[in-house]
Amino acid sequence: PIFQEQGMTETVHNWEDHGYLATYIKKNGSFANLRIHPHGLVLVDLQSYNDHMKGREEVDQLLNKVEERMKELFHGNIKRVKRLPAILRGGVIDRYWPTADGRLVEYDIDEVVYDEDSPFQNIKILHSKQFGNILILSGDVNLAESDLAYTQAIMGSGKEDYTGKEVLILGGGDGGILYEIVKLKPKMVTMVEISFDKQLIIHFNFLHPKYMRKTCGDVLDNLKGECYQVLIEDCIPVLKRYAKEGRMFDYVINDLTAVPISTSPEEDSTWEFLRLILDLSMKVLKQDGKYFTQGNCINLTDALTLYEEQLSRLYCPVEFSKETVCVPSYMELYP
């Protein structure tokens, strides 16, 4: 009766041993599904087009009535009632971004700051009330202004002395690592970032610092500074060239890509890429040098274990340790 009072037409499907499905359709296109399972689970889904607050309040009032009616019908013998927040689909602002382990997160996005395609990837900068501006590359949350913890962790969590050291950064296009290391008076930092094509130079040298200034400071205003240089190249030929020349670094920081979710190295080319980067990096790393990289969501235990196995297959023996940090905008722990 509650749905019928809203002018919704009812259709009931009975699957005998599999329960019932009742659908309620309104002339304006709104509809509701009431699914009753034999074991006692009752699901109510309501879809409507409401682009104003009043319409959403009406939906909440309707669901309140349904909930109260269910409690009356079952005489209070309901173990649990759980109402999930509405999922807003088709809006101008996309608030939903998955975590690495496949959980759906709704961000408090209130503005699309930037959204363009480059030859390498889609670039979005979205503003979050909690996290500030968030850089999203091809659907992957890359870094937010709130995420200094990520940058500090991939630099060694404040335990390293970069004074007078030679540092190689692979990737790191958000500029955060470069910005923080330059403060520590290194001898020279070389950053190699392939996605700085001509279009992205404009994006990052003018737009990116403007909107991500808390992350990159002013280091991306120029591709060269007193103690740093940014090479717009593929890092693999650069690593091979450095290895041939015998150039060595005190630190190599790999910020290219996270550990793949896939646990089938023979089927995922990203694993082959990671192994190549690892081997080449070891060839340009000093005997007492250190290599830092990111892992992935801590729940991806199989993938993280597989990455550790790759370390035992390098051409030279290495020792490794790991640290887990909470990256605010990722909403997950990250080793």
DSSP per-residue codes, 148-187: HHHHHHHTTTT----TT-EEEEEE-TTSHHHHHHHTT--S
Contact 183, 222 (CB under 8 A): no
Contact 328, 146 (CB under 8 A): yes
Q: So which residues are the catalytic ones?
A: 255
Distances 72 to 24, 65, 75, 78, 194 between C-alpha atoms, Å = 21, 11, 5, 10, 63
Name the DSSP class of 47.
E
- Round to whole Å and give the CA distance between 12 and 22: 4
Tokens of residue 15, six digits: 């699957």
**Chain-centroid distance, C-alpha 266:** 25
DSSP-derived 3-state class of residue 142: strand
DSSP-derived 3-state class of residue 143: strand
**Beta-strand runs (E) in the chain:** 9-14, 20-25, 31-36, 42-47, 96-98, 104-106, 109-117, 122-128, 132-137, 140-144, 166-171, 188-192, 224-225, 228-231, 249-255, 285-293, 325-327, 332-334
Name the DSSP class of 192.
E
Tokens of residue 110, six digits: 């209130």
Tokens of residue 39, six digits: 């074991």
Phi-psi region of 58 (alpha: psi -120 to 50; beta: other; left: phi over 0): alpha
- Round to whole Å and give the CA distance between 228 and 222: 10
